[in-house]
Amino acid sequence: MEQYKKEFIEFMVESNVLKFVEFTLKSGRKSPFFMNAGAYVTGSQLKRLGEYYAKAIHDAYGLDFDVLFGPAYKGIPLAVVTAMAFSELYGKEVRYCSDRKEEKDHGADKGSFLGSKLQDGDRVIMIEDVTTSGKSMEETVPKVRGAANVEIKGLMVSLNRMEVGKGGEKCALDEVKDLYGFETGAIVSMAEVVEYLYNKPCNGKIVIDDTLKAAIDAYYEQYGAK
């Protein structure tokens, strides 16, 4: 496993973003863990988060893109901090763009988007926190493709939960790939998280012990992607 992935797993736990407690998801599933990207709130946390996204995107796509698109609302700061990280880490100037939930009808930046205007020929990377059902892509992809003649090269999320999506067999990221025809990826998968944290100290304590590992295994036996 790449070093930045190991660091990112520890970073999620340290930041109280990834918690291992029983949590009822929107789907009604009772999960032994949950992720809340809204817990990244400080400047240093956001800086590191952008760097981890940049490294994962660079691994997957190199520098072969023009725009980072973050769907409102959580995707907005993700796109901004990752664009900053690309400039700092790789000397690559990429633009950021996000959609608005409500169209702005006045001012120089009126319209459905904020940040850089999408242009014909732009190569776009979509960026989100986590994709459980792929529902956000149903709204976002048509908006992006309708704004200009762009190529969506891929979607990057922070954590692949590896659960079945709406179709009941594949995970949400694979469903998005099949439906929209672009690559999908994550900084880390839950399998990598479990592999790295199982019976290993993090912040001075064992995060995933035998009992929790058994609960996670049981959850994926029921809801894991085939």
One of 5, 19, 58, 104 is an active-site residue; which one?
Answer: 104
Cα angle value 100/189/124 (rounded, 5°): 35
Cα angle value 55/59/63 (rounded, 5°): 85
SS3 label, residue 127? strand
- Residue 111: strand pairing partners: 104
One of 26, 106, 205, 226 is an active-site residue; which one?
Answer: 106
Q: Is 74 a catalytic residue?
A: no
Tokens of 5: 């992935």
Tokens of 82: 């990752």
Reported in sequence order, the residue ranges of 40-136 that DSSP labels E, i.e. its strands, are: 67-69, 95-104, 111-115, 123-127
Q: Is 55 a catalytic residue?
A: no
Residue 149 backbone dihedrals phi, psi, to 5 degrees:
-85, 80
Alpha carbons within 13 A on the beta-carbon side of 73: 4
Supply the residues annotated as catalytic. 104, 106
